[in-house]
Structure 1
Amino acid sequence: MSLKTDIDELIASYNGQIAICMYDTNKLIYSHQEHTQVPAASLIKLAILATQLNRDEDLNQVIQISQTPQVDGAGVLKLLNQSEWSMSDLLGLMIADSDNYAANVMIDHLTMASVNLWLEQNGYKETSLQRRLMDTNARDHGQENLTSAFEAVRLFRELMNRYLLPQKWFLNQQFRGKLPLAMDETATDVKIYNKTGEGPLIDHDVARFSKHQHDIDVAVLTWNSADRLAAISVLAKIGRLVYTSL
């Protein structure tokens, strides 16, 4: 069976909402609800990173983080005593460790308006930054960060293809329990670069599977699943199908 047929059969039995967008090099090879706008969770960090790298600032410059309130959720920055960090370190923590505090420091450095302006100027119509990470009060008042599978994979591909530095952060991603789950630590013949997102009833992942200079890029976004294990399972199975197709 073909990769498309295998994924069609897999998602047909999935009891939840799912969106997928997949490229083989530069060719779109699979899509499903790819323009559906959903809560971005930590995938919004891709937009923050792209905005910052596009500014061509000195990433070695030091940023004082104490003026940004600490937040819960993923990340280690809040556990450390150091109050000044290089921008490069903050961006690396934001991606490889999905650090919410580091993301909020970068939002304060850039401003939300500048992130949304970059998205608008670069043709992103389904992605927007409306609140800081872990700001549940803003979320409860209808302010939500949004993206789609189409734009999530577009952001990821732009970062992977334009800049060398983020590649090591994606390759050393600490959250590997979704698309790479079924072959991580065992499939030594493939490199998997990825960035996850999760929240209430939300599990996302965007990744590049690279084997012998053959790349497949895929974004899988899931939402409204009452069974999180089922959502993670379908992500892992899609990842496995991509791997076996390389």
Structure 2
Amino acid sequence: MSLQTEVDQLIAPYKNLVSICMYDTDELVYSHHSHQQMPAASLIKLAILATELERNEDLSQLIKVKETPAVGGAGVLKLMAQSEWSLADLLALMISVSDNYAANAVIDHLTMQVVNQWLAVNHYQETSLQRRLMDVEAKVSGHENLTSAFEALRLFRGLMAHYPKSTQWFLNQQFRGKLPLLMDETATDVAIYNKTGEGPLIDHDVARFSKKGHYIDVAVLTQGFTNRLTAISLMAQIGQLVYRSL
């Protein structure tokens, strides 16, 4: 049975809740609602990272994070007393521990306008940055960060291809409880690079599974699962199928 058929069977009961895009190296091999916009959650950090790295700034420059309001959710920066951090450290925290405070500091450094200009210039039509992370007031007023499975995977693949430094941040991602869930402790023969996102009724993951020079990239975005364990289990099973197909 092909990988595509197996994924079809897995998602059959949840087709309206799931978007998927999958590449085997450079060949698009699976797509399901891949251009459907969804709240991006932390996947918007891929757009922030791509915008920043393309500017070729000095990543050793210090950023005064105290000028950005601290926020909750994922991350450790809010717990630290240090008031200045290198731009490289903020980007590493934004990806490897999905640090919302670090992400907001980078947004303030760049401005939302610059991120959205970069997205427009690079022909991203389904991805936009409309608010800082964890900005509840902005969300209530209708400002939502958006992306799709296709564009989230395009961002991720671009970063993996053009910015080697970022690959280490994805490889050392601390949130492994979705696509890589069923193989983290035992799959020593495969390297997994990923970035997750989550929010109310939202669970996303974008990942590369790489084994002996062969890699498969996959984005799975979900919205509307009332039982979150069902969404996570589905993503973990998709990840396992991808791993077995390598």
Structure 1 vs Structure 2 CA RMSD:
0.7
Distance of 2:155 and 2:44 partners within structure 1: 10
Per-residue CA deviation, residues 81-131 of structure 1 (Å, 9 max, x unaligned), is: 000000000000000000000000000000000000000000100000000
Q: How many residues align?
A: 246
Distance of 2:167 and 2:88 partners within structure 1: 13
Per-residue CA deviation, residues 105-162 of structure 1 (Å, 9 max, x unaligned), is: 0000000000000000001000000000000111011100000000000000000000
Identity %: 70
The corresponding residue for 1:208 is 208
1:83 aligns with 2:83: yes
| Cα pair 1:130 1:144 within 8 Å, conserved | yes
**DSSP 3-state at the match of 2:209:** strand
TM superposition shift of 1:13: 2.3
The corresponding residue for 1:135 is 135
Range moving further from structure 2, 15-24 or 180-189: 15-24
> How is 1:1-246 mapped onto 2 (pairs within 5 angstroms)?
1-14=1-14, 17-246=17-246
Gaps of 5+ in 1: none
Distance of 1:10 and 1:16 partners within structure 2: 13
Gaps of 5+ in 2: none
What amino acid sits opposite 1:197 in the alignment?
G
| Cα pair 1:16 1:226 within 8 Å, conserved | no
Query: Normalized against structure 2, the TM-score is what?
Result: 0.99
Distance of 2:166 and 2:240 partners within structure 1: 24
Distance of 2:16 and 2:97 partners within structure 1: 27
Distance of 1:108 and 1:22 partners within structure 2: 33
**DSSP 3-state at the match of 1:198:** strand
Distance of 1:10 and 1:65 partners within structure 2: 44
What amino acid sits opposite 1:143 in the alignment?
H
**DSSP 3-state at the match of 2:72:** coil
TM superposition shift of 1:50: 0.2
TM superposition shift of 1:179: 0.2
Distance of 1:154 and 1:121 partners within structure 2: 14
Moved >4 Å (runs of 4+): none
